[in-house]
Amino acid sequence: MVRSVYCLVTASERDRSWPVDTDLDARSIDVAQRRRLLIGCAIVIVAAVFAGFGARRADRAAFLIPVVAAGGLGLVYLAVSRFEYFVLGILFVRASLDAAKIGAGSIDATGALSVVFIAAAVLWLLAQRRDPTAKVSATAPLMPPLIALVAAAALGLLISRDPLASAVEWVRLGTLVAIVAVLGRILEDEHVLRLGLLAVLASAIVPLLVASVQAVRGGGLVDVQGLDRIRGTFAHSNPFAAYLFLMITLAVAIFPHVSARWKFALVPYVLACGALLVLTYTRGAWVALVVALVVIAFLQDRRIFVFLLAAFVAVAILVPSVSVRLSDLSQQEKVTGAPGNSLVWRFSHWREVLALQTNPLTGIGLKEVDLRDVNQVAPHNDLVRVYVEMGLAGLAAYLWLAVVLWLESVRTWRRARGGLARGLAVGGIAATAGVMMLSLVANVITQLVILWYYFAIVALAMAAVSRVPDEAPVAA
């Protein structure tokens, strides 16, 4: 089973054989352990599929509670037997878990998963520290600013009006530290790295199936313009669109470096993601994807410009409703005096959010902006949110993290000589460019599912290139 999966994700047409790896042979899975892995994976997959398709049932709690419980048991089973497969299993199902949200409270399946993952990751990382042969994590440069951001967020817990809501959000934010630290370790193994890439791409299977049903039968979010915006297994169309932009970016970046059969699979994959991204009617994600594809075109293949032009023409002809979504961009003010387009509204809303800041140093606490706003409207700007909720300390950590991400993405790309590592490095830079742009007009930092997959792409790139010597950088 493991051998067949590895062969499927082999990135080079010239290298399709099973590699001879004495370390891998020393840690080979016996028959009983392989059976346990298959059972755990089967439970997780079945739970994810049923959670996605059952999200619209009338009695969602009665349906989802046993499904989520089964999925949790499957993940625990994997965590005990093979921790790296537990992490890959979470990457596979995480995009489908928002459909398992039962109530309106803060405690849900994703919150429980965050607690379980942090606990398992801490125990595993402590065990790794006692291993004298353990190498420096590939994602080690990202850890100081990430830890600083989480530490700055903790300061606001002391003055938050709703400590429980802020604490839950802080735990969810803390999973970023855990996932980046863990991925930097487990992806050192080339076999796990390829399976990790497969898990990230395959995580779109259930969301794409559910979104396809919504596109045919309806069931998305109908906005004021009458557009039925599909959302897949996500709580809203915006995070679903951001997720699709990341999957398209990763698939396009690695496309020149995979085998012919994987190119055959990636073409319909990108087309499906692109078509459903259009039907989310999320303009910010559209722009983020264009930015990412332009970066890939400059760094890797200029023919992408031709495909972009063809895509624009096809969308304009086949999806005329897109013009409805873009129709208000030239309207400054409506007859009622309300903002005529979302950009004008955002500037006005940002001023209202900044007025909530009463503690410039530590902020007012995580999630307080949503709770204190009369209409409970998110800021739609991560810089504004971080400053108001985390203060100057959090803003400094956030900017530090942004700078480190850029520097490490460029450094990773310069060290990548070719092959799959080169594609992943290009994908890392492109994803960073798109996410940074999107964070200026959307709520990326509170969409942990988006950050999980973004950091997974960055970790895949850094781990793939970590074996390349620093003495031979690729010229810009």
pLDDT for 71? 57
Residue with the two structure tokens 């996605």: 52
Nearest Cα to Cα of residue 97 among 66, 68, 60? 68
Could you tell me which residues come within 8 angstroms of residue 220 by beta carbon, excluding any fewer than 6 positions away? 214, 228, 229, 230, 231, 237, 279
Taking CA atoms, 200 is separated from 205, 287, 353, 455, in Å, by 10, 22, 35, 11
Judged against a pLDDT cut of 70, whether residue 224 lies above it is answered with no
Count up the domains in the chain and report the number: 1
Least confident of 10-14, 52-56, 326-330, 397-401: 10-14
Residue 2 covered by a domain: no
Q: Which of 52-66, 100-114, 122-136, 410-424 has the highest mean pLDDT?
A: 410-424
Instruction: Kindly report the average pLDDT of the chain as a whole number.
Output: 78
Query: What domain range is 117 assigned to?
Result: 30-134
Alpha-carbon 164 to chain mean position:
25
Whether residue 475 is contained in a domain is answered as: no
- What DSSP string describes 34-68? HHHHHHHHHHHHHHHHHHHHTTT-SSHHHHHHHHH
Per-residue pLDDT reduced to its tens digit, 239-278 = 999 999 999 999 999 999 999 999 999 999 999 999 999 9
pTM, two decimal places:
0.81
Residue 4 counted as domain residue? no
Q: Are strands 221-222 and 228-229 parallel, antiparallel or unpaired?
A: antiparallel
Q: Mean pLDDT, to the nearest integer, of 157-169?
A: 86
Give the separation between CA 60 and CA 57, rounded to whole angstroms: 5
**Which one, of 225, 270, 231, lies nearest residue 247 by Cα?**
270
Q: Note whether residue 45 is domain-resident.
A: yes
Sign (positive/negative) of CA torsion 252, 256, 262, 263?
A: positive
Q: In which band, very low, low, confident or very high, does the pLDDT at 298 lie, cut at 50, 70 and 90?
A: very high
The lowest-confidence range among 30-39, 93-102, 135-144, 296-305 is 30-39
Give me the pLDDT at residue 220, please. Answer: 67
Contact (Cβ atoms closer than 8 angstroms) between residue 236 and residue 78: no
Within a domain: 232:
no
The vertex-325 CA angle with 321 and 328, nearest 5°, equals: 135
Q: Is residue 475's pLDDT more than 50?
A: no
Q: Is residue 122 part of a domain?
A: yes
CA nearest neighbour of 442 among 329, 249, 276, 285: 285
pLDDT surpasses 50 at 18: no
The answer to whether residue 198 is domain-embedded is no
Whether 109 maps to a domain, the answer reads yes
How far is 396 from 152, CA to CA, in rounded Å? 9
Cα 166 from Cα 244, distance rounded (Å): 28
Name, in order, each residue with C-beta under 8 angstroms of 472's C-beta and a sequence gap of 6 or more: 415, 417
Closest Cα to residue 246, out of 202, 201, 206, 281?
201
Determine the average pLDDT of the residues in 362-375: 81
What local confidence, expressed as pLDDT, does residue 239 receive? 92
Tell me the average pLDDT across 191-207. Answer: 93
The per-residue pLDDT for 81 is 66
* pLDDT value at 167 more than 50: yes
The DSSP annotation for 407-447 comes to: HHHHHHHHH--SHHHHHHHHHHHHHHHHHHHHTTTS--TT-
> What's the pLDDT score for residue 105?
46
